[in-house]
Structure 1
Amino acid sequence: MGSKAVYYFMGAHEVRVRLGGISRQRVHQLTTRADFPTPIADLMQGKVWLASDVEQWIKTRPSRRHDVADEAP
């Protein structure tokens, strides 16, 4: 028997949570950018993306977090 591929999806809420609880407005801003992955489907409740595409997009973005531990005293 052949193995079946398993795909995981993210809606706007999951994207929001994955990005640290950003606002719905910010999710909309990000997901409509040209560099954000293309949605796999546009359902009645909104767009959905392949989770792997979103994760790859996150990895390519510069970190916005500022690590206080890296600061000199």
Structure 2
Amino acid sequence: MRLKQISVFLENKAGRLAEVTRLLGDAGVNLRALSLADTIDFGVLRLIVDNPEKALHVLSENGFTASQTEVLGVE
């Protein structure tokens, strides 16, 4: 099945992942899956959520750099 994946670019510092999940939770966006790849300075958080458009809007409004791509999901 085709899914929309949100990629969020984060500074690699304490609390950034918690901030993203709090913002999405407060907005009523539910996480279905996540993956995090990090380096010393930055990381890329990849999310599958139940409402990708709302997630992008919330993240952008709060200063996060995020993009959306289409991926294939397998059950």
TM-score range, shorter chain: 0.3 to 0.5
TM-score, normalised to structure 2, is 0.34
Higher share in helix: 1
* Relative contact order, higher structure (CA 8 A, sep 6+): 2
TM-score between both structures, scaled by the size of structure 1: 0.35
